[in-house]
Each structure stands twice: as structure tokens, then as C-alpha cells.
Amino acid sequence: MSEQSVEEMLSRARILRQKGENKKAIAAYKEVLEAYPDCVDALNEMGLIKIKIGEQDAAIEDFNRAIALRPDDPRAYSNRAEAFLTVGAFEEALDAAKDGLKAVPDSADLWAKKARALESMMKVQEAVDAYNEALKYDSTDPEIWKSLALCLDALEKWDEVARAYTIAADLHKRRGEMREYESRMKSAQTAKDSA
């Protein structure tokens, strides 16, 4: 049997993951790592499956390995923060995001993870600041705008809430996501009515 390339092996694991065959996908990712021990993609993707099935500690180990291999890659930091967020370990999630931002300060995803951790800790203004920082690096993600709107809503800044929802709606519309567009526009109108 000829050796498979890393891309062929990853492709097989990804297909299993898309089918929802999580245990088989994890086994396939482990095969990738046996053949290619420094495959950061396999570590990150396998870790995300482990989060989904409730194996956060094992996922965090995978992300830590990925960080050790590629400390300038924001994905593993972000994924590690996500693992902590899913179990309510908000301080650890915040620390994971901050660690990532030291290495990759222009990662919108890491700023958004930091914001989510702060929001979960009821530090709403700090979360707003972090979401605004995320938008400096990626203003095309409607989920960041929606999350910002929710924080602004908690602060009762209705004009800003309406603006954030309207921008999120427009981004959804550009993507052809009409249900999300309509939902965000309703939220924007509600905010305008509250002003």
C-alpha cells in the first residue's frame, strides 16, 4: 500500500467528522498524527470534536500541543479558549485568549473569544471594548456584530444596538442568509423603538 499524503488522510478524517461519526473521525485524526506528528490541523480539528463530545480536558491537551508546535497560529489559542468557555471556566478562557493575543495581536477571533469570556464574567463594557477590537481586524463577521449588539443592549445603548444589528443584517443579506437578515432587522427595530 502506498503512503497517503497528509491531505488525503485529513480529508478522510474531515469526511467522518462531517458525517457526525466523531469516534471514527478522532481515530482517523490519530492516524494522521502517527504519520505526521506535527500536523497542527489534525490537532485542532480533533480537539474541536472532543469539545463537541464533552472531552474538554483531552481537547485542551491537543490545543496545547498545537500551540507548542505553532505558537504564531491563533487557531489553537482560540480553540483552547472555546474549550474553557463550554465548561464555564471563564477566567481560564480569558487567559487562553490573552495568551493568544500576545502571540497574534491582530486575530479577530481571539479578540472575540476574549470578549465572550468577559461577557460571561459580566464585565460588559470590557466585552464591548474587546468586540470593537475584534471588528478592527474583521468587520465582515455578522456574529461579532450580533454579539456586540447583545452587550450594548445590556448597557441600554439603543442607537448603538440598532446600528450593530443593522450591520449584522446587511452582512447576512450579502451572504444570502435571509432568515438571519430578517431576524437582525427585527432586533434593530426593537432597539430603535426602545430609544
Tell me: the pLDDT tens digits for 9-31?
999 999 999 999 999 999 999 99
DSSP-based three-state secondary structure for 5: coil
Residues 6+ apart with CB under 8 A from 166: 184, 185, 188
Planar angle of CA 115, 159, 164, nearest 5 degrees: 45
pTM: predicted TM-score of the whole model, two decimal places: 0.90
CA dihedral 52, 53, 57, 60 (to 10 degrees): -30
**Structural domains present in the chain:** 1-70 (1.25.40.10)
Mean pLDDT value of segment 90-96: 97
- Per-residue three-class SS string for 160-187: HHHHHHHHHHHHHHHCCCHHHHHHHHHH
Which tens digits make up the pLDDT trace of 111-155? 999 999 999 999 999 999 999 999 999 999 999 999 999 999 999
Asked whether the predicted pLDDT for residue 1 surpasses 50, the reply is no
Share of the chain above pLDDT 90, in %: 97
pLDDT over threshold 70, residue 78? yes
pLDDT at residue 165, as a whole number: 97
